[in-house]
Amino acid sequence: MELWFTEKQTKALGLSCLVKRTIHAETTPYQELAIIETEQYGRMLVLDGMVMLTEADEFVYHEMIAHVPLSVHQNPRHVLVIGGGDGGTVREILKHESVERVVLAEIDERVVETSREYLPSVSSGFNDPRLVMAIGDGIEHARQHPGEYDVIIVDSTEPIGPAAGLFGTEFFRLAAAALREGGLISAQTESPFINGDLIRRTHQGLSSVFPFRRLYLASIPTYPSGLWSFTLVCNHEPPYLSPRPLPGVECKYYSGDVHRAAFALPPFVAALVAGD
């Protein structure tokens, strides 16, 4: 008998994967957590029934959310990651020699612990001495650390449950205050096909906080629709399309050419943020 996992991405759309076995499942204080092994994509982290990552394609998401802001900032030394308890974004940040400290503000400690145990290729940066674990509310962490970070990366789940506040204007104001002069923020902002209204609302909220906002795209097969968006924001006009060279930073998806191309938006995506 075959066992399939299906993520209901919308009421009318689902992603199904043939499951070899369930490796781990539990109810944490915040969410339902599972790690399953699939035939097509290897190990998969699932939170509240939603695919957070798979071993086969996680590098796309983590490279694009991390290296785009870090290659635009001229000297990123102190970086905050909000969410991202699996460790993939931390792993990519730590490839940058200029980075002196990474703070991981993850509300659910069990995501960190299970990723360390069952997803070692993703969580490989957890033993780096530059990493500081800050288990707790990322919004509150930003509130308590004004003017501290060069780059803030919002590696959140979908805007429900613990992550809902990470898409609101109040959080954007706190995050802006937590930046040093010249700082940048990157955040995942869902699928243009599935979540167009969310992208529009998020950019409208950002417009009251940040004068410069740019959406960029990547292809991630296991995320809803396969086309995913990120947003880069700051208080000054950075050279979005001119990333710094990153000697020694090896990637499977990100490159300077991919960086520049990611900001070239199809007209239907550009229309979502045109009126922000």
Q: Which residues are catalytic?
A: 155
> How many CA atoms lie within 13 Å of 22's alpha carbon, on the beta-carbon side?
10
CB-based contacts of 60: which residues, under 8 Å, 6+ apart? 218, 219, 220, 252, 253
Cα–Cα distance for residue pair 40/18, rounded to 1 Å:
7
Tokens of 59: 């590098």
In sequence order, the β-bridge partners of residue 42 are 38
Helices (H), the chain: 58-72, 88-93, 109-118, 138-144, 169-177, 196-207, 256-262, 267-273
In sequence order, the β-bridge partners of residue 25 are 34
Beta sheet of 78-83, edge-to-edge order? 131-133, 101-105, 78-83, 149-155, 179-188, 227-234, 212-219
